[in-house]
Amino acid sequence: MTEKIIPLADLRYLNKIPVIPARLEAPTGLLADTLARPLQDLRISITDRCNFRCVYCMPKEVFDKDYAFLPQTSLLSFEEITRIASLFVAHGVEKIRLTGGEPLLRKNVEKLIEMLSALRTPDGRELDLTLTTNGSLLARKAQALKDAGLKRVTVSLDALDDTVFKQMNDVDFSVSDVLEGIEAAHRVGLGPIKINMVVKGGMNDQEIVPMARHFKDTPYILRFIEYMDVGASNGWKMDEVIPSSEVVRRIHAEMPLEAIAANYVGETAGRWRYVDKNGDGGGEIGVISSVTQAFCSDCSRARLSTEGKLYTCLFATGGHDLRALMRSDKTDEEISTVIAHIWRARGDRYSELRTANTDGLNADRKVEMSYIGG
């Protein structure tokens, strides 16, 4: 029998309304936090709802029919999202990722993408605009997303075996439908496409090598993600984490790999490529070692929750309510100054600290990934 896990507090309602600083400032396109990390990357959760119930993210026992998802009026409107995003872009953000929940469930998401794709960096460049999806609606929406200006997608897929995948998504969704979504996205040019597989020991780790084999010699980059202690619902235990080093070891034993250099500072995935006998490869894989090898020192990511709270770390216990500022008629200059102050004061490095405390920190006090966005 599965135990019902009841979070101790609903952190979505913890409110911290930022105070407007006395001296307003114009954005310079460059902001650094207390650890000299620039603000470059913004993840926006556009819905807290999902049609999957992945056991490591929205377990059914918690996210059941009685769960209180946010009401429509709480969500940031497309105009509010675009306004906040433009302020972040003026501060140096070049990459925006839409996430959730399942972002493709948000009604008229193409309209939002169209609005965001019109934004430009201070020196006139287009943004790297992407989204992470479970793939369930991708076959249907790929063309419209591309036409709206989306550059690429990341698709989550945790197994190739249907029984295992259905155990993980817990809503009886088939692998073939996700694969169809991935192919549709590829056909319309939403690439390079990354495939994310969360590895949970004892659940889908036997799928590591079959997944690697399936995506070898394809245009898709498969990335293995260590199961993380996000939120307070998934009952995370360190012994269910399969370290990335073990993932690489298992694949390497069957299909030799060699390490390759990162594309840029702050890239979350360690990169490996296949070394075929004739030397012409077979593509690459990535490993995201969020638990065993923290990458906080290069973390340039801010997160905006579904209802407009700014989080400076995936594991933060509180957010800064930017929606309250927008809905109380604060000016762009005022909100932009608030963002600058929040980022400059940032000192988060949760994963580095967890390394010294393997039971997870703040175990009952973290916000859920579906709310803050992965």
Distances (CA, A) of 312 to 41, 215, 263, 276, 350: 11, 33, 23, 41, 11
Enumerate residues 132-151 that contact ligand SAM by CB under 6 A.
Answer: 132-134
305 binds ligand SAM (CB under 6 A): no
User: Do 58 and 114 meet the contact criterion of CB atoms below 8 Å apart?
Assistant: no
Q: What is the CA radius of gyration of the chain?
A: 20
Give the sign of the dihedral formed by CA 154, CA 158, CA 163, CA 168. negative
Residue ranges in 133-162 that form contacts with ligand SF4 under rule CB under 6 A: 134, 156
Between 227 and 315, name the residue whose CB sits nearer to ligand SAM. Answer: 227
100: contact with ligand SAM by CB under 6 A = yes
Q: How far is the CB of 63 from ligand SAM (least distance, A)?
A: 12
Applying the rule CB under 6 A, the residues between 302 and 341 that interact with ligand SF4 are 313-315
When CB distances are held under 5 to 8 angstroms depending on the partner's kind, the choice from ligand SF4, ligand SAM, none that residue 58 binds is ligand SF4
Is 69 a binder of ligand SF4 (CB under 6 A)?
Answer: no
* Backbone torsions φ then ψ of 214, nearest 5 degrees: -65, -40
Using CA atoms, how far apart are residues 266 and 330, in angstroms rounded to an integer? 33
Stretch that binds ligand SF4, among 83-91, 109-117, 279-287, 290-298 (CB under 6 A): 290-298
Stretch that binds ligand SF4, among 50-58, 110-118, 235-243, 274-282 (CB under 6 A): 50-58
Contact flag: residue 311 with ligand SAM (CB under 6 A): no
**Which residue, 33 or 48, is less far from ligand SAM as judged by CB?**
48
State how far the Cα of 95 lies from the Cα of 97, in Å rounded to an integer.
Answer: 7
Cβ-based neighbour number of residue 351 at 10 Å: 23
Looking at the Cβ atoms of 48 and 114, the one nearer to ligand SAM is 48
51 burial via Cβ count (<10 Å: 0-12, 13-18, 19+): middle
Instruction: Please tell me the distance from the alpha carbon of residue 158 to that of residue 164, in angstroms, as a whole number.
Output: 8
Task: Report what 230 binds from ligand SAM, ligand SF4, none; CB cut-off 5-8 Å by kind.
Answer: ligand SAM
8 Å CB contact between 4 and 266: no
Residue 350 touching ligand SF4 (CB under 6 A): yes
Please return the burial class of 241, using the count of CB atoms within 10 Å of its CB with bins 0-12, 13-18 and 19+. buried
We find the least distance from the C-beta atom of residue 330 to ligand SAM, in angstroms, to be 29
The footprint of ligand SAM on residues 105-134 (CB under 6 A) is 132-134
Region from 3-11, 64-72, 241-249, 296-304 binding ligand SF4, contact rule CB under 6 A: 296-304
Q: How far apart are CA 150 and CA 95, in angstroms?
A: 12
Q: Could you say which of 18, 27, 101, 231 contacts ligand SF4 (CB under 6 A)?
A: 101
| Interface with ligand SAM, residue 370, by CB under 6 A | yes
Residue 307's binding partner out of ligand SF4, ligand SAM, none, with CB under 5 to 8 Å set by partner kind? none
43 binds, among ligand SAM, ligand SF4, none (CB under 5 to 8 A by kind): none
Is 56 a binding residue for ligand SAM by CB under 6 A? The answer is yes
As given in the structure block, the two tokens for residue 162 are 């249907």
Count of CB atoms situated within 10 Å of the CB of 328: 8
- Nearest residue to 7 (alpha-carbon basis) of 234, 176, 189: 234
Residues at the contact surface with ligand SF4, assessed by CB under 6 A? 50, 52-54, 57-58, 100-102, 134, 156, 294-296, 299, 301, 313-315, 348-351, 370
